[in-house]
Amino acid sequence: MVHLVDLALAILLFEAALLLALRGRHGLPARDILLIALAGLGLLAALRAALADGASWLVPLGLSLAGLAHGADLWLRLKRGAGPAQKR
């Protein structure tokens, strides 16, 4: 099961790199892409630590990282006035 999480981590990193490389003038800002990817990485890191019986402190660390990144993303969207369906 840990190998599936590793695969998901690799896909997430590839997707973030691809979005950053191809964003052009009309894509998401780099900060938005990085915050979204960081939230996903935190969740997957916590899942991996739980499945691999790793250090128990890695689970809350990953969840905290995901929560902070998600909160920052939401705060920036609300500050900008862009809802999920609105163009940035």
Give 21-63 pLDDT, tens digit per residue. Answer: 998 877 888 999 999 999 999 999 999 999 998 788 999 999 9
pLDDT (0 to 100) of residue 58: 93
- For the chain, domain boundaries: 2-80
User: Does residue 74 surpass a pLDDT of 80?
Assistant: yes
Report helix angle 30-51 to 58-80, nearest 10: 160
The answer, as to whether pTM is greater than 0.75, is yes
CA distance 38 to 50: 18
The mean of the pLDDT values for the chain is: 90
Q: Fill in the DSSP letter of residue 65.
A: H
Q: Fill in the DSSP letter of residue 28.
A: -
User: Does residue 86 surpass a pLDDT of 60?
Assistant: no
CA distance 46 to 66: 9
- Residues whose CB falls within 8 Å of the CB of residue 9, separated by 6 or more in sequence, listed in order: 41, 44, 45, 48
Q: pLDDT exceeding 90 applies to what percent of the chain?
A: 73
